[in-house]
Amino acid sequence: MTEPNNTSPKEQPDSQAQSHETDPRPQSFKDLKPWEGKARTGDKVLLWFLFGVPAFYMVLLPLRPFLIAKIPTLLALITGARTVIAGAGAFAAVEGRSLTLVILAGLFGMLKFDWLFWLAGKMWGEGVLRLYATTPAQKRQFEKIKRMPRWLLYLMLFFSRFPGVPGPIIALIAGWSRVRFLPYFLITAAGALVMSIALATLGYVIGQPAVDVLKVVDKYAIFISLALIFGLVAWSSIRSNKKRQTS
């Protein structure tokens, strides 16, 4: 015979509530929303844009192999990707196009969405932690960066478009730290300009060998794109399975 459940109905919700309180992970959208009180129209629009930016780049990723050899400068403007800017510089050298145009396209491509993250930090302040820092370790990292001296934050803004630097996170913290838009934009733009010049010039110097490689990529674009799509689907499935296992 099975033993009767001696836990009273009153005790069960209490234990569930206690486990809910000790779990630091978000349990619902209310735990994630970065604003206080009722959402304004600006809050909703900005949140949709912030979710839309990663989706925009994910959609473009499989299309890059098709476009890199056909419209490299335009693709640099649309994506701001480092490899695309370098590729556009190589095509500029081989086909006699303007290197300045490639540099400006890369600069715009790198800057076009960053200000949204600065605005999110400015509008929502500490609330951005609920959206982007869902674990205690991430929250400590955010707060550590926020406490750094202002000159060091400016330095990080300058390098925010360099490889390995989490640019959107730095922009969020700059807005949260009440860095005014003009200093934020000028410093970020200066760093992005240096990066765009370096990448475009590198491609320009390499020239024909880089173009030959990109034309091979264009030739096998359909296979590369399919591999990227399958890779994204597999990665998404693995992440979903891990979340289900940990929940």
Kindly list the averaged pLDDT for each block of 10 residues, start to end, along the chain of length 247. Answer: 48 46 49 69 83 83 76 89 88 88 95 90 78 71 77 90 84 88 95 93 82 58 53 62 63
d(CA 226, CA 126): 41
Q: What's phi and psi for 183, nearest 5 deg?
A: -60, -40
pLDDT recorded at residue 246: 65
With the C-alpha atoms ordered 22, 26, 29, 30, is the resulting torsion angle positive or negative?
positive
User: Is the Cβ–Cβ distance between 221 and 63 less than 8 Å?
Assistant: no
53-57: long-range contacts at Cβ-Cβ below 8 A with a sequence spacing of 24 or more? 53/113, 53/116
pLDDT recorded at residue 245: 65
pLDDT recorded at residue 1: 46
Number of H helices, E strands in the chain: 15, 0
pLDDT recorded at residue 22: 44
Cα dihedral 65→101→91→56 (10° resolution): 0
Say what angle helices 99-111 and 72-79 make with each other, to 10 degrees: 20
d(CA 117, CA 156): 15
pLDDT recorded at residue 12: 47
